[in-house]
Structure 1
């Protein structure tokens, strides 16, 4: 098989490098920027950020060569490409509309912005890597359809855990194994659901020097801690791999690498999962705060089942760590490098014409859930904030309760009181459908509600 790097080098030699535009110069964006000039055949043509100073600071902080970017931030993207320099703009729409751009990396983390940028990519025929999992879960099932209709590739981000999990799932299915469970590790205790931006650093343990670096946004990092990001990522995996979310949300069981096959097999086989073909996040901490032995905090995994006695014996012969029965085994990747690996997505799209993971169905949704008792008139503040966290649930169940997606639980005022741990619905808030993100989400709900109904009528228990 020809390697991606070899094909990229051929493009470079031919003078036809892939031209990349990135939207968002935060932590993830900065990680990609730090690697972007190191791969032959890929050029970072432009960076769009609401603050040109932030984009420039990212370039300087990550060691980007000074002769390879426009420090004046005055060149247009096209002018920068001609001059061989990365251009900086505050106009993301202009970046997307630039004719020479091949691939857009959406790294804003803002779901509304992500939807807007995806639709612009459809309009201007630009491939898009949706690093913005918030937008992907909010409207990805519909955006992926629109991208296909537009003839562009809509992809997950390699280096982010959903794409790496999707890769493991694809490996398992290609090799002929049943996927029992797939997911990732994280640091989680039950009380973390109620963490706020004021308490987040108490749980993380970052040094003052790290926090002063400019890479650490307390609300964003709190969304990692309170379970919202895990819920979003597992919804993305459910939708990209046609796997089922746990009916009552993620359980975050404390499980080490060696115990994955034993603990994450179905209850009917002595495990903890309700059935085969699910997603789950394992915690690196026991409920009493002790670290799990051989934990998978930074990694991803897939649990598979031997299809017969012969394969079961092969598991044993080749040293796989299995459950007590020998039927269930796990494969895992202990680490992920986030934006440092993102170039793989760019290369896969442009060299192979393939995404590194892609939303296919609407299986999982993430619904805003109250962190505390909320009163009439309070304003919601979204992922990682003081009012709500995101809870994973089957998409059909979310539709049944008119669940308010976590990606839109920001800025709206409550018109009804909500109890702690209660899942919010559209009926709990004052909102307007004139906002683009709301309109797109409502369009998706209408389409899939009809599909869910048709499946139920036809006796189908799968996904849309």
Structure 2
């Protein structure tokens, strides 16, 4: 509760937390708009493939032109301004940088960057949850061995859900379910970047389509991002995926403790101690009042009669039995909250969530019949979506991780709804991302 005071002390001492950001996209821009206003934080460098675009982003985020126009890293350090560049190596070589934010969204690139950041002796905040679910347990282990922090990104839903779980366990509660809300219908699994507009225009007033990345939005709607984020939560908390992945039951925020409890107790879950994502739509496509489409939650169990009495007395959104209760957060602010992770990693040397085990995976599942010789287009594309699966099942059946299902060609025909396997595609065993993934599997194989 004292991070702001610790940052203020750093500011007064003239020794701010010095940050480098890789990737000035949506998440990065939301961080930048608040970082400029945070005492004790200096964004010394922004690394982006398109520096000119990154400078335009700074202007959009409210930065005065001179603040984002340092000609070199030395100049940035001396003036408190920011150096924008497309060269990562000099930034990582500078010992004055405390922490690096990886916000590219590309799993292979994220793994490569993360390893380089760790080797440079800097803390890493991994916004790139795609890289985290592909190899995060190994990356976090390497960071710990190097004496640096590997952290999930506060403001993104996985870190917020991890905080819910940590709160519950610290208070002695049994965690029944943790998760988030989204907008979901079963047919969304077949959405493509071309057809996703039909859904987006139902709830977004889009006047300029050039401002929308349809592949990114498609990932949120076709179920992929939910599988990715719940996998990150499982690997950081030890919660276990349901045997057939997420079911996306419809629920309002006031129904969570009734819906997200085990089936034998009248709920929808296969078991207790798992993750789920609830839909803001009924299966008929109607909006649910008081839905949780942008929020996060945890369902806990009262294990004594007195605990259940307290649930009722303090209006803990309990189910009819009084045995299960919910704590929820109605929304999340993405990169605008990322300062929590930056400050925690540097000042407390604590992550805001980090993978510790490999209990969940997200695997490539065909959106439509696809033919041998076709090339997969990865997350949010037209060929596959990402389904959450228990890691042990994924390894036993050699399911293809979603993070490797881009730019690879099929070796056989695949039916709609079929989960792809490693031998379904041509894989370059020497690809760095493949090698790291295989190393992670060997190190963290369940059992």
Tell me which interval the TM-score lies in, with the shorter structure as reference length: over 0.9
In structure 1, the residue corresponding to 2:243 is in which secondary structure? coil
Give the alignment partner of residue 205 of structure 2, picking from 193, 204, 207.
Answer: 207
1:32 counterpart residue number: 31
**Structure-1-length-normalised TM-score:** 0.94
- 1:98, CA displacement in angstroms? 2.0
2:318 counterpart residue number: 322
Structure 1 contact 261–323 (Cα < 8 Å) conserved: yes
Structure 1 contact 265–276 (Cα < 8 Å) conserved: yes
**Structure-2-length-normalised TM-score:** 0.98
Give the alignment partner of residue 282 of structure 1, picking from 275, 278, 281.
Answer: 278
Structure 1 contact 78–98 (Cα < 8 Å) conserved: no
In structure 2, the residue corresponding to 1:33 is in which secondary structure? helix
- 1:445, CA displacement in angstroms? 1.6
2:58 counterpart residue number: 59
- 1:210, CA displacement in angstroms? 5.0
Q: Distance in 2 between matches of 1:320 and 1:248?
A: 30
1:17 aligned onto 2:13? no
1:311 counterpart residue number: 307
- 1:95, CA displacement in angstroms? 2.2
1:395 aligned onto 2:394? no
Q: Distance in 2 between matches of 1:94 and 1:30?
A: 22
The worse-fitting range, judged by mean Cα deviation, of 155-164 and 351-360 is 351-360
In structure 2, the residue corresponding to 1:280 is in which secondary structure? strand
Distance 1:6 1:274, change over 3 A: same
- 1:202, CA displacement in angstroms? 1.7
Q: Distance in 2 between matches of 1:313 and 1:131?
A: 40
- 1:433, CA displacement in angstroms? 1.5
Structure 1 contact 34–62 (Cα < 8 Å) conserved: yes
Q: Distance in 1 between matches of 2:232 and 2:246?
A: 14
Q: Distance in 1 between matches of 2:80 and 2:404?
A: 39
Alignment of 1:61-460 (within 5 A): 61-70=60-69, 75-205=71-201, 206-212=204-210, 214=211, 216-449=212-445, 452=446, 455=447
- 1:221, CA displacement in angstroms? 1.2
Please list the CA deviations of residues 202-227 of structure 1 after superposition, one character each: whole Å capped at 9, or x if unmatched: 21123343534x4x211111111111
- 1:429, CA displacement in angstroms? 0.7
Q: Distance in 1 between matches of 2:152 and 2:443?
A: 23
Q: Distance in 2 between matches of 1:217 and 1:90?
A: 22
- 1:236, CA displacement in angstroms? 0.2
Structure 1 contact 89–95 (Cα < 8 Å) conserved: no
Please list the CA deviations of residues 31-75 of structure 1 after superposition, one character each: whole Å capped at 9, or x if unmatched: 1111111110001111111111121111111111223111xx7x2
Structure 1 contact 183–302 (Cα < 8 Å) conserved: yes
Q: Distance in 2 between matches of 1:446 and 1:122?
A: 21
Q: Distance in 1 between matches of 2:408 and 2:60?
A: 36
Structure 1 contact 109–133 (Cα < 8 Å) conserved: yes
- Give every structure 1 segment of 4 or more consecutive aligned residues whose post-TM-superposition deviation is greater than 6 Å: none
What RMSD over aligned residues (CA atoms) do the two structures have, in Å? 1.1
Structure 1 contact 239–361 (Cα < 8 Å) conserved: yes
- 1:316, CA displacement in angstroms? 1.1
Structure 2 contact 215–379 (Cα < 8 Å) conserved: yes
Structure 1 residue runs of 5 or longer lacking an equivalent are 456-464
- 1:271, CA displacement in angstroms? 1.1
1:46 counterpart residue number: 45
Structure 1 contact 78–100 (Cα < 8 Å) conserved: no
Q: Distance in 1 between matches of 2:241 and 2:398?
A: 18
1:462 counterpart residue number: none
Q: Distance in 2 between matches of 1:276 and 1:426?
A: 31
Count, aligned residues = 445
Structure 2 residue runs of 5 or longer lacking an equivalent are none
Structure 1 contact 138–407 (Cα < 8 Å) conserved: yes
Structure 1 contact 48–88 (Cα < 8 Å) conserved: yes
Q: Distance in 1 between matches of 2:136 and 2:266?
A: 35
